[in-house]
Amino acid sequence: MALKKYFITGLLIWVPLVITLWVLATIIRTMDQSLLLLPEASRPEHLMGFYLPGIGVVLTLLVVLVSGVVATNIVGQRFLLFWESLLSRIPVVKSVYHSVKQVSDTLLGNSGVGLRKVLLVRYPHPEAWSIAFQTNIPVSEVSAACADEMVGVFIPTAPSPVNGFFFFVRKRDTIELDMSVDSALKYIISMGVVAPTALHPATHAQNE
């Protein structure tokens, strides 16, 4: 029994460390691919004679930062409008680009609402509760078709919260939780193992 205890303790130390290092190494290798945009003679491994991980990360961050600076001035805004109008003329690219842009503007932009509240909703059956995120209020066509007040919710899957389902549900059938979006995401990623510090219902669902 003692040997098993020591082995499990060792796993608890090494498994998170190895997974963290693997994720970081994958991110660094992926971002280092930006160095391929440089001429071969200008690449760091050619100049220094060896590969130094992380230079591509710095280059990628600089490109993103410079792009943001350029896009905030008049010339950059005009170029951005020209670029978007050019993409809008390509049938398939138009649909993909504008869909992704709307999502990114909503989640990252100053004017977007993103994931507004953490809710409990009845899913996948009436006797179960799932954590969901309120995203928006329904469009007028949906509101007009429903007698009750509805809200749009995104129900993420565990342990990958980037996937999930989008539904409209009755607002009175939801429970608003006193929990931040970050805490809820950690809770979902850990599949309920890492409990958030605050998990208190703020608004209870009403029975019909």
Mean pLDDT, all residues of the chain: 80
197 or 120, higher pLDDT: 120
CA distances from 154 to 10, 11, 68, 175, 208 (A): 38, 34, 29, 14, 23
Q: How would you list the strands of the sheet with 164-170, edge to edge?
A: 164-170, 150-156, 129-136, 117-122, 175-177, 201-203
Read off the pLDDT of residues 88-147 as tens digits, 9 standing for 90 and up: 888 888 888 877 776 666 556 554 455 678 999 999 888 899 999 988 767 777 777 888
Q: Which residues are paired to 131 by β-bridges?
A: 120
User: Could you give the CA distance from residue 76 to residue 73 in angstroms, rounded to a whole number?
Assistant: 5
CA distances from 81 to 89, 98, 112, 197 (A): 13, 13, 20, 44
Q: Is the pTM of this model over 0.85?
A: no
